[in-house]
Amino acid sequence: MQGKRVLLVDDEQHIVDVVVYILEENAFEVIAALDGHTGLRLFNEKNPDLVILDLSLPGIPGLELFREMRKARPGIPVIMLTSRSEEIDRVLGLELGADDYVTKPFSTRELAARVKSVLRRSERSEPEQISPLLTHGPIEIDSDAFSARYFGDSVQLTRSEFKLVESLVRYPARVFTRDMLIDRIYDGEHIVTDRSIDAYIKRLRRKFAEIRQDINPIETVHGLGYKLNQDMEGAT
């Protein structure tokens, strides 16, 4: 954890001064920006390990800046700051894939603890497998050709449906929460919500059932999310 570089983007100088001090006390290297344009430039130049991003910024608004950063580096951990009382701002940030949020006023020591926690989660995350050809039982995925087959028959999928199935097949034993699937489907343009994920799953089950009705390839894990049906591995 020592020596990790944190980019702080906030337009309130007194907050910047205090956060920089506490993070440096915790052995982080901190670079700071007071507006969105400077924040984006430093992000591209300094390659930080984590970003702390205020939602209310001059220049480039916080959510737009977040999208630009995630477009350039999809895995970059981001903690959002907001002084707004409306819950919708925090929810929107999390739906877009932010790793955590902190509402102003906040404890700087709590923020430092959140930074450490998010970085630990990021370091534990599995590296993506790069093979374009994936199979799980009767499901076959070719990421390069953007094609999917089920029991040998072609399945016509939208871009979002394909990315969802690809994620499930790439890690067939993993239970994916809706938030995890949102992160994988989000394309930087269209908002994806829990309800969107449920709708995609429903459509996928219907498309698979048009080929075979005797097996449900995507299981619901109540209270958690979705995973592939492990019984499919031996299906013929």
Question: Are 13 and 106 found together in one domain?
Answer: yes
Question: What is the share, in percent, of the chain residues with pLDDT greater than 70?
Answer: 87
- What digits encode the pLDDT tens for the residues 136-146? 899 999 988 89
Report the pLDDT value the prediction gives residue 140, as an integer from 0 to 100. 95
Looking at the predicted structure, is the pLDDT value of residue 165 above 80?
yes
Question: Are 14 and 115 found together in one domain?
Answer: yes
Question: Are 10 and 78 found together in one domain?
Answer: yes
Domain total in the chain? 2
Looking at the predicted structure, is the pLDDT value of residue 75 above 90?
no
Q: Which domain does 45 fall in, by range?
A: 5-124
Looking at the predicted structure, is the pLDDT value of residue 57 above 70?
yes
Report the pLDDT value the prediction gives residue 87, as an integer from 0 to 100. 54
- Residues 161 and 140: their CA atoms lie apart, in Å, by 14
pTM of the model: 0.53
Report the pLDDT value the prediction gives residue 173, as an integer from 0 to 100. 78
Looking at the predicted structure, is the pLDDT value of residue 192 above 90?
no
Question: Are 11 and 113 found together in one domain?
Answer: yes
CATH of the domain at 229: 1.10.10.10
